[in-house]
Amino acid sequence: MLRTHTCGELRSEHIGNTVTLTGWVQKQRDKGGVVWIDLRDRYGITQLIFEEGVTEQSIIDQAKKVGREFVIKATGEVVERYSKNDKMPTGDIEIRVNEFQVLNGSKIPPFTIEDETDGGEDLRMKYRYLDIRRNPVREKLQLRHTMMQKVREYLNKEAFVEVETPYLIKSTPEGARDFVVPSRMNENEFYALPQSPQTFKQLLMVAGMDRYFQIVKCFRDEDLRADRQPEFTQIDCEMAFVEQEDVLQTFEGMTKFLYKEIKGIELGDFQRISYDEAMTKYGSDKPDLRFGMEFCELNDLAQGKGFVVFDSAKLVVGINAEGCAEYSRKQLDALTDFVKKPQIGAKGLVYVKCNEDGSFKSSVDKFFDQEALKGWAEKFNAKPGDLLLILAGETNQTRKALNELRLEMGERLGLRDKKKVAAAWVLDFPLLEWDEETQRYHAMHHPFTAPKPEDVDKLDSDPGAIRANAYDMVINGVEAGGGSIRIHDRELQAKMFEVLGFSKEEAEEQFGFLMGAFEYGAPPHGGIAYGFDRMCAIMAGEQSIRDFIAFPKNNAGRDVMIDSPGKISQDQLDELGLKLVEPKKQ
Ligand code: ASP
């Protein structure tokens, strides 16, 4: 090694030792007679001192010339500092340098390599290798590393075997668009990159592996958001000879283990809530359960009183924002604007202030007298000082909009506490979801999910009413993972494809290999996959998954550092038998 110690390890017990450190210049201070350099590496920062009369002049001259992010090597004696810095682990000591070497210079970095940087996101992505030098980013990657080790530790202990599955495969329907790769050796044919290893892990169960896991890249060509990347990582798992409860116990156990080991937090047993209940109470299949503010439906009390907005609505439903009766006109207008945003889509917001004196003030006083409003307040369990916020309209849309308002109010009232962890299982998802646009059913999870046995007979008569043995793990309003018990019977799987609108031939062509395998003794099986990047972000209390990925893509799916995607040469195109067409107009 070029060094004897790292920049994070020297303490007062090392005083008197001669050491050699290497690293980057975090900053250099030239006070005339004395020069200090803060030397940084992954492990910390150590101060170097160069002092006239003590340090050789030629070395001081060299030290004066270095700039930020120069890579240097310095040898010297560990000495006690004149003025100690109790904010730094190495703050009791400094190194009195007597040998000094610049290993490499550096251009002035395009943004400051500090915890709080002046660099915007685009610039930081372009120079990601500089961004990773900053503590907050490096720490996130280290958290990811620790998570990976702990996941492996837990699953290994539970007898899971880590098996790699291929990336060049054919379509796996997880509901997104595929990324495709042309095959040179098979003209006019394409591989698809896996949206998940779903079919392979099922085949591993048929193969008798019994318990499989993989920390694996998945690829989905869909619109990006803060918590989505075109390539992302899953902790993908599958178990044979299990029922839903076994999967829930195993992975609730894993999540508890991760929180305990990484955050020192003992999680209690997870809440369990059915999909229907989650939608009715919170308008979301991933409710943030760190706070209550449950929906309260008002159809019975609010309809038929001549207020046409309510009378024409399928659903009248609201939340109680406790202690918010004092909200000003301006604050209420801001909430109305919030729910009317196109992405939320409500037409308006009705409020009822439950005044301290027991009276009520609402935006619908014309239609509802004090007695009526009192009835509402009772239904909401509201106290004087509370504010009821009510939406009306088509059922699903209204629930969705109220979910957004609930989250917004939770945020405003400080109820979405980063330090709290509310973990839950959402259970009993519908098997299928009707899609208006294509006028057919889609699998809500994926086509391999098993219907609940008691609902199987509805496959012909009432497919929309079938529930599945499918489950999502939701932590603080984020879907951390999801899975299901699978179909392991050829007939049922074929039936499922039929309900999803596949012809026999299409089903055979795409999934014949899986249905074929089911004819050779497929065990009952089920599993789950966690969004690993997301799980890291949840663990750190962050929204965006980007910083937990070493080299992420931007919102347009571009890697701006390596400038990809990019063009390929005519030779490559010819070899692949591809011809480019005029780009579509934007
Ligand atoms: N393959 C599923 C997914 O990616 C997870 C699972 O069902 O295990 O969501």
- Alpha carbons within 13 angstroms on the beta-carbon side of residue 126 total 8
Which residues approach ligand 1 with their CB closer than 6 A? 174, 196, 198, 482-484, 527-529
d(CA 357, CA 385): 9
The model's pTM: 0.94
Residue identifier of the C-alpha nearest atom 8 of ligand 1: 528
d(CA 342, CA 259): 38
What is the CA angle 181-582-576, rounded to 5?
30
Q: Which 8-state DSSP code applies to residue 463?
A: G
The alpha carbon of 446 and the centre of ligand 1 are apart by a number of angstroms equal to 8
| 3-class SS of residue 570 | helix
d(CA 35, CA 335): 56
d(CA 205, CA 165): 13
Q: Is the pLDDT of residue 584 over 90?
A: no
Which residue from 232, 372, 389 is spatially nearest to 317, judged by alpha carbons?
389
Residue identifier of the C-alpha nearest atom 7 of ligand 1: 483
Taking residues 162-186, report their average pLDDT.
Answer: 91
Counting from 1 in the atom list of ligand 1, the atom nearest the Cα of 198 is: 1
pLDDT at 339: 97
d(CA 204, CA 223): 31
Name every residue whose Cβ is closer than 8 Å to that of residue 268 and which is 6 or more positions away in sequence: none
| H or E segment to which residue 200 belongs | helix 198-206
The alpha carbon of 236 and the centre of ligand 1 are apart by a number of angstroms equal to 7
d(CA 19, CA 70): 20
The alpha carbon of 553 and the centre of ligand 1 are apart by a number of angstroms equal to 23
Give the position of tokens 């690993």. Answer: 532
Contact 354, 327 (CB under 8 A): no
Taking residues 527-535, report their average pLDDT.
Answer: 97
Summarised one tens digit per residue, pLDDT across range 33-55 is: 999 999 999 999 999 999 999 99
pLDDT at 66: 97
pLDDT at 586: 61
Summarised one tens digit per residue, pLDDT across range 222-256 is: 888 777 899 999 999 999 999 999 999 999 999 99
The alpha carbon of 263 and the centre of ligand 1 are apart by a number of angstroms equal to 26
The alpha carbon of 448 and the centre of ligand 1 are apart by a number of angstroms equal to 10
Pairing of strands 360-362, 423-427: unpaired
Counting from 1 in the atom list of ligand 1, the atom nearest the Cα of 236 is: 8
Summarised one tens digit per residue, pLDDT across range 256-284 is: 999 999 999 999 999 999 999 999 999 99
Spell out the SS3 assignment of 512-527.
HHHHHHCCCCCCCEEE
Residue identifier of the C-alpha nearest atom 1 of ligand 1: 198
Q: How far is CA 196 from CA 148, 250, 368, 538, in A?
A: 18, 21, 53, 21
The alpha carbon of 528 and the centre of ligand 1 are apart by a number of angstroms equal to 6
pLDDT at 223: 84
What is the CA angle 410-412-413, rounded to 5?
65
The alpha carbon of 217 and the centre of ligand 1 are apart by a number of angstroms equal to 13
Summarised one tens digit per residue, pLDDT across range 331-347 is: 999 999 999 999 999 99
Counting from 1 in the atom list of ligand 1, the atom nearest the Cα of 201 is: 8
The alpha carbon of 529 and the centre of ligand 1 are apart by a number of angstroms equal to 5
Residue identifier of the C-alpha nearest atom 3 of ligand 1: 529
What radius of gyration, in Å, describes the C-alpha atoms of the chain?
30
pLDDT classification of 491: cutoffs 50, 70, 90? very high
d(CA 371, CA 362): 12
Pairing of strands 440-443, 432-435: antiparallel
The alpha carbon of 530 and the centre of ligand 1 are apart by a number of angstroms equal to 8
What is the CA angle 279-313-406, rounded to 5?
40
The alpha carbon of 465 and the centre of ligand 1 are apart by a number of angstroms equal to 22
Summarised one tens digit per residue, pLDDT across range 280-321 is: 999 999 999 999 999 999 999 999 999 999 999 999 999 999
Pocket test for ligand 1, best of 160, 174, 218 (most atoms within 8 A of CB): 174
Q: How far is CA 46 from CA 6, 52, 70, in A?
A: 9, 20, 15
pLDDT > 70: what percent of the chain? 100
Give just the sign of the alpha carbon dihedral 520, 523, 524, 526.
Answer: negative
Counting from 1 in the atom list of ligand 1, the atom nearest the Cα of 218 is: 4
Whether the ω angle into residue 565 lies within 30 degrees of 0, i.e. cis, is yes
pLDDT at 176: 87
Counting from 1 in the atom list of ligand 1, the atom nearest the Cα of 486 is: 7
d(CA 257, CA 267): 9
Counting from 1 in the atom list of ligand 1, the atom nearest the Cα of 470 is: 7
pLDDT classification of 530: cutoffs 50, 70, 90? very high
| H or E segment to which residue 401 belongs | helix 395-412
Residue identifier of the C-alpha nearest atom 4 of ligand 1: 196
| H or E segment to which residue 25 belongs | strand 18-30
